């Protein structure tokens, strides 16, 4: 099998805060990510598709179509927005762990077989990234 990865970029803001916890516990657990004024990140998103090479096109996936799907279902929803304002996050923390699941759920059904979504990777900072491979 061959895998192809497409990189995207978006900017979004969030605040990690659990309303069931005290301010002290939120501050201790989330640190700067609990900033009451919110804060933003410059995210790099990597979407990896795995599958056989199509004999007629020579591709695993049509990258133009993948780009359109990622932009429509993810980038246009998150870029320059407050993550908590996205309906999917109403009852979830806007963590990178939840963000990769969100991205997966938005695009998995859009991938044309026999290619399959293999991995969603999200880089929040230069030293932190999260990867999701679907429910295994």
pLDDT at 38: 79
Which of 105, 124, 131, 136 is catalytic? The answer is 124
Q: Which two tokens stand for residue 95?
A: 């963590």
* Cβ neighbours of 41 (radius 10 Å): 19
Residue 103 and residue 73: Cα distance in Å, rounded? 8
Amino acid 40: pLDDT:
82
Task: Tell me the pTM.
Answer: 0.91
Catalytic residue among 9, 33, 65, 68: 33
Q: Which of 94, 115, 112, 104 is nearest to 74 (CA)?
A: 104
Closest CA to 88 of 76, 75, 102, 103: 102
Q: How far is CA 69 from the centre of its chain?
A: 13
Per-residue confidence (pLDDT) for residue 16, from 0 to 100:
85
Q: What pLDDT was estimated at residue 9?
A: 97
pLDDT in tens, the chain (136 residues): 899 999 999 999 988 888 889 888 988 887 777 777 778 889 999 999 999 999 999 999 999 999 999 999 999 999 999 999 999 999 999 999 999 999 999 999 999 999 999 999 999 888 989 999 998 6
Answer yes or no: 14 catalytic: no
Residue 80 φ/ψ region, left for φ over 0, alpha for ψ in the -120 to 50 degree band, beta for the rest = left
In this prediction, residue 58 carries a pLDDT of 94
Q: Is 41 considered catalytic here? A: no
């Amino acid at each position: 099998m061959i895998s192809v990865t497409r990189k995207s970029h978006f900017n979004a803001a969030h605040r990690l805060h659990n309303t069931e916890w005290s301010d002290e516990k939120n501050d201790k657990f989330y640190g700067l990510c609990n900033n009451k004024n919110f804060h933003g990140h410059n995210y790099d998103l990597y979407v990896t598709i795995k599958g056989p090479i199509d004999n007629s096109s020579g591709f695993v996936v049509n990258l133009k179509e993948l780009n359109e799907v990622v932009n429509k279902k993810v980038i246009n929803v998150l870029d320059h927005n407050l993550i908590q304002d996205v309906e999917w996050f109403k009852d979830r923390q806007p963590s990178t762990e939840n963000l990769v699941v969100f991205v997966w759920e938005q695009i998995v059904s859009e991938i044309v077989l026999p290619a399959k979504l293999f991995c969603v990777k999200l880089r929040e900072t230069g030293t932190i990234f999260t990867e999701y491979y679907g429910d295994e």
